[in-house]
Structure 1
Amino acid sequence: MVKTDIGYTTTDTIMVRGLNLSTEIIGKFDFVDMIFFTTLSRLPAPREKVMVNALLVTTADHGITPSSLSARLTYIGAPEALQGAVATGLLGAGSVFLGPMQNAAEMLNEGAADLADGATDEQILDVVRALIRRYKERRQQIFGVGHPIHVDGDPRVPALRALSREHGYYGLHWRLMDAIVEVLVKEQHRKLPMNVVGAIGAIVAAMGLDPLIARGLALVGRSAGLLAHVLEEKQQPMAREAWQLVLKDDPRNVLP
């Protein structure tokens, strides 16, 4: 039998995790409640709700990025398909842009598996050195450090760090992420500040959530930002100009 535990529909009801959507959920749950309820089959604790709200807000927008630009370019080609434009912006959420929060959480979980909560700084540094060595041997990227724009420090990190401290999610995983930055800076002799990927990875790992949820929350948050970019593109177009700039830069193109 093919079925899902998430919900089902009859001629007069829609049930989600055992609750009636119309009479028990609408008007009583907010969106973060619904994310937890559908995904984890429970409601969030107050501190969990604060952190997930923060992650959704943090990932909503970062200006002109590959995701927002691809959404705008898709929209000018198919203005009748908002869903296509938003989907295009989300499809690039991989290990380089938007999606690495999952990879960072997995990396930090791997490091935390070899440590106790009360680990000393030196124990953490030893684990981090071994972790970095393993990643290099596997030719895997180290996630959560450096930024092409925020070269002196990602301004989102202090805000997320303070929120984590305030709500009890500031411990081993943040210490691991800080140690990764410390070791890499010493090895490479250049600025490599922690970025938002590392901060969100530390938060999701500290919350005990499946790392896949980190990428999922980034997708949900960015959907709101992409909607904003598509609406702005409709009202104040810029994608065609960006396209024309690319054409002008290539002398092989003959423009009308």
Structure 2
Amino acid sequence: MTATAVEQGDRKAADWWATSVIRMAPGVVELRGRPVQDLIGSSSFPALIWMMLLGTEPTAGQARLLEAALVAGVDHGPQAPSVAIARMAATCGVGLNSAMASGINVLGDSHGGAGQQCVELLHEVVALTSQGESPEAAAAAVVARWREHTRYLPGFGHRFHPVDPRRAPLLSLVDTAVAAGEVEGLHATAALAVEAEINRGRARPIPMNIDGATAVIYAELGFPAPLARGLFVLSRSVGILAHAWEESQSGLRNKGPIPRDVLPTHLGQDG
């Protein structure tokens, strides 16, 4: 093999996982071009998440807004399938990593995906307003289009909370960020217009929930819609870890989804 062929082979191997996220060499760890030793003790975790995902550095206000969204989504109790599954797995003799992965792996379209879907919905409203439509008219058009395919509008209503307690503080922080010029507020306006549209004529309101409020934040901060789901998973992983650890300390083994003295209803045999 010629020297040129060897060099080409080395380059092909080096390019296999080419990345701008990190540069790692003996004695060197740089994250997005920043030496890790300069980040340790000076960068907040939300600011580091921003830098790793978007490749830029947030302002202090943007980092605080991202942190608020991450804090808000940390946990919602064992009623959530992801948490219940992690707790069950923790009693089965697996490690914390397996228990966490078991829970995280069920964060899909129905459980965990509403934030991404709501960002997509809000993008549609903002796109129409950028073409000259009023927020109200844009919201009406987008809601009508979505309802051609589903009655469910992601980011609105909650199976447990009449009013999600996380909604108001998150939207208040968005208002503060808009006033400070940290974000534009276009997606917040869109979300409120959608909320007004879906509640038009209703005696019992359907308010924005945690998925809607965090979708506003992620969209305002410029995160692509798929990252809204990834950021939710990152946030909820903290709660999943806490539950898996708590359950692992209980001393119980092979804990199932219902108490052992409760037998599932038998539906009988066909035929």
- After superposition, residues 85-124 of structure 1 pair within 5 angstroms as 85-116=99-130, 123-124=134-135
Within the alignment, does 1:77 sit opposite 2:92 as a pair? yes
- Matched with 1:149 is 160
Q: Report the secondary structure of 1:250's partner residue.
A: coil
Aligned partner of 1:211 among 212, 225, 245: 225
- Are residues 212 and 89 of structure 1, via their aligned partners in 2, closer, same or farther at CA, if it must alter by over 3 Å? same
Q: What do residues 147-190 of structure 1 show as CA deviations (whole Å, max 9, x unaligned)?
A: 01102x11100110111111214733222222222222236654
Distance 2:195 2:260 in 1: 36
Distance 2:90 2:233 in 1: 19
Q: How many residues align?
A: 247
Distance 2:71 2:252 in 1: 25
Residue 33 of structure 1 contacts residue 49 of structure 1 at CA under 8 Å; is this kept in 2? yes
- Matched with 1:13 is 28
Q: Report the secondary structure of 1:155's partner residue.
A: coil
Distance 2:202 2:108 in 1: 25
Deviation at 1:242, TM superposition (A): 5.3
Within the alignment, does 1:29 sit opposite 2:43 as a pair? yes
Deviation at 1:58, TM superposition (A): 0.6
Q: Report the secondary structure of 1:248's partner residue.
A: coil
Q: Which runs of 5+ in 2 are unaligned?
A: 1-14, 267-271
Distance 2:83 2:246 in 1: 11
Q: Which runs of 5+ in 1 are unaligned?
A: none
Q: What do residues 193-249 of structure 1 show as CA deviations (whole Å, max 9, x unaligned)?
A: 111111111122222221222212211111111111011102236785653427723
- After superposition, residues 107-256 of structure 1 pair within 5 angstroms as 107-116=121-130, 123-139=134-150, 141-151=152-162, 153-168=163-178, 169=183, 171-186=185-200, 190-236=204-250, 243-245=257-259, 248-252=262-266
Deviation at 1:90, TM superposition (A): 1.3
Which residue identity is paired with 2:58?
A: P
Q: TM-score, normalised by structure 1?
A: 0.86
Which residue identity is paired with 2:66?
A: V
- Are residues 159 and 248 of structure 1, via their aligned partners in 2, closer, same or farther at CA, if it must alter by over 3 Å? same
Residue 84 of structure 2 contacts residue 257 of structure 2 at CA under 8 Å; is this kept in 1? no
Deviation at 1:110, TM superposition (A): 1.0
Runs of 4+ in structure 1 deviating by more than 4 angstroms, as ranges, are: 237-242
Distance 2:261 2:110 in 1: 26
Residue 161 of structure 1 contacts residue 170 of structure 1 at CA under 8 Å; is this kept in 2? no
- Are residues 249 and 47 of structure 1, via their aligned partners in 2, closer, same or farther at CA, if it must alter by over 3 Å? same
**Larger proportion of helix:** 1
- Matched with 1:40 is 54
Which shows bigger deviation, 170-179 or 61-70?
A: 170-179
Q: Percent identity?
A: 28
Deviation at 1:140, TM superposition (A): 7.4
Which residue identity is paired with 1:133?
A: A
Which residue identity is paired with 1:216?
A: G
Q: Report the secondary structure of 2:91's partner residue.
A: helix
Q: TM-score, normalised by structure 2?
A: 0.81
